[in-house]
Amino acid sequence: MQEDFHIGEKIKRLRIAKGISTKDLAKKANITAGMISQLERGSTQGSVETLRKIAKVLNTTLASLFENKDDLKTQNSYESFHIVRKWQRRKISFPDPLYKCEMLTPDLQGDIEFVLVELEAGRTTNDILPHTKGGEECDFVLSGTIEMQIGGLNYTLYEGDSIRFNPEIPHKIENRSDKKASYISAITPPSF
């Protein structure tokens, strides 16, 4: 069984706990009140950049928006704090249906972010964004072909290839082929 993060519910709980109205949160995060409302209702997941802005206003981290403490309370074995079984992976939702991520670590509280990423055929984007401040990102292609733009440089990576770079440098990852591609990404410090 795979689990989704309920980011909108967490944003609403944090906003209410801090006594911030939807309008005030939107103004401080420099996004629309309509976007806040859609996030809280779960009708959109929002971009990573939007979620970062909201997390900053709510004085929390992006990682904490993805963490589900209720799940941690109900875990009944020591194993679940260390091991993620294939059927227990949590999905990290994005508005882009051609981009899917599953966590390969039990939570986002460690020093490394470790995720399995699937890019559907034809997944391209105009977004060139940094992930996090400092640290490193290493990506290993499991299947297919991915195109990477890091700064002004372009790279094509095939099954079995890997790359290491500074995630602070604006970059994007695409699958311009007609077949699904997947890769494992390890990022320090965690960017979610």
Domains held by the chain: number: 2
> At residue 103, what are phi and psi to the nearest 5 degrees?
-70, 140
**Residue 133's domain is classified under what CATH number?**
2.60.120.10
pTM of the predicted structure, to 2 decimals = 0.66
Same domain, 175 and 122: yes
pLDDT over threshold 60, residue 72? no
Same domain, 22 and 105: no
Domain boundary among 51, 66, 81: 66
Mean pLDDT for the chain overall: 83
Residue 58 belongs to some domain of the structure: yes
Residue 21 belongs to some domain of the structure: yes
Q: Tell me the pLDDT tens digit for each residue of 157-173.
A: 999 999 999 988 888 89
**Residue 62's domain is classified under what CATH number?**
1.10.260.40
Pairwise pLDDT comparison (140 vs 42), residue with the higher score: 140
Residue 162 belongs to some domain of the structure: yes
Residue 89 belongs to some domain of the structure: no
Domain holding 59, by residue range, is 3-66
Same domain, 128 and 56: no
49 band by pLDDT with thresholds 50, 70 and 90: confident
Same domain, 25 and 108: no
Same domain, 62 and 100: no
Q: Where are the alpha helices (DSSP H) in the chain?
A: 7-17, 22-29, 33-41, 48-57, 62-66, 69-74
Q: Tell me the pLDDT tens digit for each residue of 8-17.
A: 888 888 888 8
Same domain, 145 and 184: yes
Residue 91 belongs to some domain of the structure: no
Same domain, 182 and 105: yes
**Vertex 154, ends 152 and 155: CA angle to 5°?**
145
Domain boundary among 50, 66, 82: 66
Same domain, 50 and 107: no
Domain boundary among 26, 44, 66: 66
138 band by pLDDT with thresholds 50, 70 and 90: very high
Same domain, 102 and 51: no
Same domain, 62 and 107: no
Q: What is the 3-state secondary structure (H, E, C) of 102-114?
A: EECCCCCCCCCEE
